[in-house]
């Protein structure tokens, strides 16, 4: 029996098209099903497609379709998370947050607040307030003996002479004697959020909050909302 040969792609309106010199050769779900149906309709009745070949094509389509659907779902999910985080970050404007850093902004008549983590108890913890412009130590503070864990501190803005320091940005250094060795400790500083910036990264890693006088920090670096 003679077999009619047809151009399946053209009969379905699926002929490849040129786009900026590149051919489109991928099929969507609807096009794939149309192609498969037409293939079954016009197959040689003397040589029908065997079950193995048919199942192979369906399995291939299911895998590709499943991956595409999964990618689309993850993309929608990521967009949803990014939107929620952007709204959450925007709600922080005007509020105070605790974020890693060694500089704090002293406002006129104000104080600088923060905290640090002690890996173990120490009988001798000290803090220095330094003017970053001159390198001068403005205030030496003896915090005494402290237990392990999170310990809060406050600088009231007074210098070593009992005078109010000028408003501005100051560097804060905390040291603790642990097992006989002076150990520098990382600090978290309380700062006010001025604005929020949407970065180029994905998720919370692309969000930045801009702190008054101190500049940007990553949204996911914020330790606490105060």
Bridge pairing between strands 112-118 and 187-198: antiparallel
**Mean pLDDT across 85-100:** 85
Q: How far is residue 76 from each of residues 19, 69, 89, measured CA to CA in Å?
A: 27, 11, 20
Computed over every residue of the chain, the mean pLDDT equals: 79
pTM value is 0.62
Q: What is the pLDDT of residues 49-60, one digit of tens each?
A: 555 665 666 666
Please report the pLDDT score of residue 138 as a whole number.
Answer: 98
How far apart CA 144 and CA 146 sit, in angstroms, is 6
- In the predicted model, is pLDDT for residue 14 greater than 90? no
- In the predicted model, is pLDDT for residue 90 greater than 60? yes
Q: What is the pLDDT of residues 201-218, one digit of tens each?
A: 544 457 889 999 999 999
- If one compares 143 and 8, the residue with the highest pLDDT of the two is 143
- Give residues with Cβ within 8 angstroms of 160, minimum separation 6: 137, 138, 139, 140
Q: What is the pLDDT of residues 129-167, one digit of tens each?
A: 999 999 999 999 999 999 999 999 999 999 999 999 999
- If one compares 95 and 17, the residue with the highest pLDDT of the two is 95
**Mean pLDDT across 35-45:** 64
Across 15-19, 27-31, 174-178, which has the greatest mean pLDDT?
Answer: 174-178
- In the predicted model, is pLDDT for residue 74 greater than 60? no
Which domains, and CATH codes, for the chain? 96-225 (2.60.40.4070)
């Amino acid at each position: 029996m003679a077999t009619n040969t047809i151009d399946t792609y053209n009969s379905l309106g699926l002929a490849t098209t040129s786009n900026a010199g590149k051919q489109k050769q991928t099929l969507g779900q609807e096009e794939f099903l149309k192609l498969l149906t037409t293939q079954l309709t016009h197959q040689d009745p003397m040589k029908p497609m065997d079950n193995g070949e048919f199942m192979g094509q369906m399995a291939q389509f299911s895998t590709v379709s499943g991956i595409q659907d999964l990618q689309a779902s993850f993309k929608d999910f990521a967009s949803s998370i990014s939107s929620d985080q952007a709204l959450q970050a925007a709600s922080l404007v005007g509020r105070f947050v605790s974020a890693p850093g060694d500089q704090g902004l002293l406002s006129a008549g104000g104080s600088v607040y923060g905290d640090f983590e002690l890996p173990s108890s120490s009988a001798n913890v000290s803090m220095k307030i330094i003017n970053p412009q001159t390198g001068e130590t403005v205030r030496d503070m003896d915090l005494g003996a402290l237990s392990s864990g999170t310990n809060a501190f406050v600088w009231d803005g007074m210098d070593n002479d009992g005078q109010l320091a000028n408003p501005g940005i100051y560097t804060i250094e905390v040291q603790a004697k642990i097992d006989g060795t002076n150990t520098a400790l990382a600090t978290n500083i309380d700062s006010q959020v001025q604005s929020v910036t949407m970065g180029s990264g994905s998720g919370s890693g692309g969000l930045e909050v801009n702190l008054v006088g101190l500049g940007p920090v990553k949204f996911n670096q914020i330790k606490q909302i105060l």
